[in-house]
Amino acid sequence: MIKNDLFLRALKGETVDRPPVWMMRQAGRYLPDFMKLKEKYDFFTRCRTPELATEITVMPINQVGPDAAILFSDILVIPQAMNIEVEMKPGVGPWLPNPVRTSKDVEKVIVPNVHEELGYVMDAIKMTKQALNDEVPLIGFAGSPWTILCYTVQGQGSKNFDIAKKFCFTNPVAAHILLQKITDTTIAYLKAKVAAGVDAVQIFDSWGGMLSPTDYQIFSWQYMQQIIDALKDEVPVIAFGKGCWFALDEMSKSGASALGIDWTCSARNARYLTGGKITLQGNLDPTRLYSPPAEIRKMVHQMIDEFGKDRYIVNLGHGILPDIPVENARAFVDAVKEYSK
């Protein structure tokens, strides 16, 4: 039995004394101890070494105190397993030297045996579960097929993913074959994570907001729905589409246990668009953590008042930024813990 099961209870829609809190990207770059490991080991070495992934995952639980841990990993381990080379370049971020640009390129992309190619992730989960010792639940995650396609076709991060969108619009047959391969791999990967011991999973559609509402249905949501359908009876699923407020109504009927909300959508609109019947997670602007701790506390309490304490998980509207002071991250978490209606 998990000692602090507040997060899992909120996912089930149970009545709670206060909402649970965690932060996207909490296992990482703003923590001084993380930066020490970063100086010693490159990015994918940290992802692929279970001992390091475990240490990084547990770090914020001990130092900041959120109600759930999220496994230290990256959404781009999936394309790596699919025979697509991915590097993490300092100052650039993800870099794919041979992006997928043609039908022939798509043919070379494989649907791997996830236990063989991504076994190190499952080892990290088992090791992390042991280290957490049932104190808090562990979240596993994957990128949405559309978001993974964005990187594999664009070849790096982008403001508008124009090359990725051009590929989809000029070669839709190849685009859908690629999206289905990513979807099949993601389902197998997340199922393996559940078998290894994660208590919930989150699908990150970081670049869903790049698409129009119509194109979102065509190139992103139908694939996310496949993943939710495959997982929802085994584990709670959180779907997070950044900039995708226009799809919240449909997302709320998907069978997901919760929906992530970014900071551009108010609590009132999010509740209205989702019919008030599903757990919502979010949505403080990550840059707001630069504010003084007293102000953070006030904003967090206001945010909980607006969303309501039940069917709600306090989080940021996207990942925590690398230069946020640790005491500000702690102020965010502590503000939730001291909240009482």
Q: Which residues are annotated as a binding site for substrate?
A: 25-29, 44, 74, 151, 206, 318
Residues flagged as binding site: 25-29, 44, 74, 151, 206, 318
Closest by CA to 315, choosing from 252, 267, 253, is 267
